[in-house]
């Protein structure tokens, strides 16, 4: 599972050509990360202002530590139903759909396990096997009850929306931009990049993909229009234990340990920020072969996989707009190629 995390992709925000529209940008800290918004249009200032306010609103709604948030109330309801906002209902319904589609590789009920590792506090440690085993008894997203107005989790289960909250927030910002008739915008919500339309000059936006082996550099860039570009990697929120092993925050719900199935980075490109956010975590947990099969079954997203042995896999729909920045061996995966 991916908690709200640091930079995993970096947008190149410079628009080329002559600008005839008003441009407005904002940089701020929310959801435990740095964010930036940039919009072009006659109503850009209002769009950015409203978007920033909406982000702060959703931060309060989805927080696991704010006692006024929906999530805090659910986690402290002792198994009782809790009235929640439409935003929380929508996110939870998407999360449950992703949990089913990913065969349990995506889970929002891992919060106590993440906390045991210290990934929610920064006080990192390797929990004892019996501690993890005990906490896993309460990891089961199928037991979360969601209707149009209320949510109920079993007693002792606690949830966290870190793997979908920024994606959903990005989708909400895009809706605000459209409502203000913005046709060109790019946002970076702590590494979750989403674009609206193209650059003002009509060209595609260029988004950089972090090199998981050298996080200050890029492995490449993708050119996108009207897309979300979201990455999960093992270089985010990681630590080295007393045993000398490296541990990261993307946990496998099957055993409660960092997912170690051959991938070090997964980038998902698609239309829905919420789904791309969840998928980047789920595919990382699934591992290379299952992730490729998932892509072949789905058909509504593209992906860039970086394997632990230093190889790059691109799906055919994104290969043509990918520009390499390293000499990493690369293979294009095709839908009709089962080899």
Helix (H, G, I), strand (E, B) or coil at 235: coil
| Rounded Cα gap, residues 317 and 13, in angstroms | 23
Comparing CA positions, the residue from 211, 231, 230 lying closest to residue 220 is 211
Strand order in the sheet with 145-146: 82-83, 150-152, 145-146
Angle, alpha carbons 112-116-118 (nearest 5°): 115
pLDDT above 90: percentage of residues in the chain: 90
Measured N-to-C along each axis, helices 44-62 and 165-179 cross at an angle, to the nearest 10 degrees, of: 150
Comparing CA positions, the residue from 175, 230, 241 lying closest to residue 207 is 230
Overall average pLDDT of the 199-217 stretch: 96
Which of 93-122 are b and which e, b meaning 16 or more Cβ less than 10 Å from the residue's Cβ? Answer: ebbbebbebbebbbbbbbbbbbbbbbbbee
pLDDT above 70: percentage of residues in the chain: 94
Cβ burial, residue 29 (10 Å; 0-12/13-18/19+): exposed
Domain range for 205: 1-339
| Rounded Cα gap, residues 79 and 167, in angstroms | 28
With bands split at pLDDT 50, 70 and 90, how would you rate the model's confidence at 17? very low
With bands split at pLDDT 50, 70 and 90, how would you rate the model's confidence at 328? very high
Mean pLDDT rounded to a whole number for the chain: 93
Measured in degrees and rounded to the nearest 5, phi and psi for residue 190 equal 60, 35
For residue 207, the surrounding DSSP H or E stretch is: strand 205-211
With bands split at pLDDT 50, 70 and 90, how would you rate the model's confidence at 310? very high
With bands split at pLDDT 50, 70 and 90, how would you rate the model's confidence at 338? low
Tokens 């590792």 locate to: 117
Largest CA distance in the chain: 62
For residue 265, the surrounding DSSP H or E stretch is: strand 263-270
Tally of domains in the chain: 1
With bands split at pLDDT 50, 70 and 90, how would you rate the model's confidence at 1? very low
Query: What's the CATH code of the domain at 108?
Result: 3.10.520.10
pTM of the predicted protein model: 0.92
The contacts found for 72-79 with CB under 8 angstroms, 24 or more apart, are: 74/151, 74/152, 74/153, 74/159, 75/111, 75/153, 75/158, 75/159, 77/152, 77/153, 78/155, 79/152, 79/153, 79/154, 79/155
Overall average pLDDT of the 172-189 stretch: 97
Report CA dihedral (221, 36, 160, 78) to the nearest 10 degrees.
-170
Overall average pLDDT of the 187-205 stretch: 97
With bands split at pLDDT 50, 70 and 90, how would you rate the model's confidence at 21? confident
Overall average pLDDT of the 1-10 stretch: 35
**Alpha-carbon distances of 272 from 2, 33, 152, 226, 266, rounded to whole Å:** 17, 21, 26, 10, 16
Residue 74: pLDDT above 70?
yes
Residue 300: pLDDT above 70?
yes
Q: What is the pLDDT of residue 7?
A: 30
Q: What is the pLDDT of residue 58?
A: 98
Residue 254: pLDDT above 70?
yes
pLDDT tens-digit readout, 152-171: 999 999 999 999 999 999 99
* Contacts for 98 with CB less than 8 Å, ≥ 6 apart: 106, 164, 275, 278, 279, 282
Q: What is the pLDDT of residue 31?
A: 96
Overall average pLDDT of the 258-267 stretch: 97
| Rounded Cα gap, residues 206 and 323, in angstroms | 10
Specify the range with the lowest mean pLDDT, choosing from 19-33, 128-142, 147-161, 313-327. 19-33
């Amino acid at each position: 599972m991916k908690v709200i995390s640091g930079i995993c992709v970096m947008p190149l925000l410079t628009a080329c050509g002559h600008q005839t529209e008003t441009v407005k940008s904002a940089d701020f800290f929310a959801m435990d990360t740095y964010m930036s918004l940039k919009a072009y249009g006659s109503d850009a200032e209002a769009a950015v202002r409203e978007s920033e306010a909406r982000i702060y609103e959703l931060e309060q709604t989805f927080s696991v530590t704010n006692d006024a948030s929906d999530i805090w109330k659910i986690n402290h309801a002792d198994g009782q139903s809790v009235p929640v906002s439409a935003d929380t209902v929508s996110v939870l319904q998407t999360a449950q759909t992703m949990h089913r589609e990913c065969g349990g590789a995506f889970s929002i009920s891992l919060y106590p396990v993440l906390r045991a590792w210290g990934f929610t506090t920064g006080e990192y440690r390797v929990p004892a096997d019996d501690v993890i085993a005990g906490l896993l008894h309460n990891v089961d997203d199928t037991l979360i009850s969601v209707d149009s107005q209320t949510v109920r989790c079993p007693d002792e289960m606690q949830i966290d929306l870190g793997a979908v909250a920024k994606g959903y927030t990005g989708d909400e910002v895009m809706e605000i931009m459209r409502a203000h008739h913005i046709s060109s915008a790019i946002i970076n919500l702590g590494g979750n990049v989403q674009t609206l339309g193209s650059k003002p000059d009509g060209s595609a936006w260029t988004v950089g993909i972090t090199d998981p082996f050298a996080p200050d550099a890029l492995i490449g860039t993708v050119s996108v229009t009207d897309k979300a570009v979201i990455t999960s990697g093992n270089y985010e929120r990681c630590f080295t234990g007393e045993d000398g092993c490296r541990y990261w925050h993307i946990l496998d719900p099957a055993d409660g340990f960092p997912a170690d199935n051959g991938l070090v980075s997964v980038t998902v490109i698609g239309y829905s920020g919420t789904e791309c956010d969840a998928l980047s975590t789920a595919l990382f947990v699934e591992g290379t072969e299952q992730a490729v099969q998932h892509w072949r079954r789905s058909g509504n997203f593209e992906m860039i996989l970086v394997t632990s042995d230093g190889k790059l896999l691109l799906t055919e729909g994104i290969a043509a707009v990918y520009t390499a920045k390293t000499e990493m061996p690369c293979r294009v995966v095709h839908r009709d190629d089962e080899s």
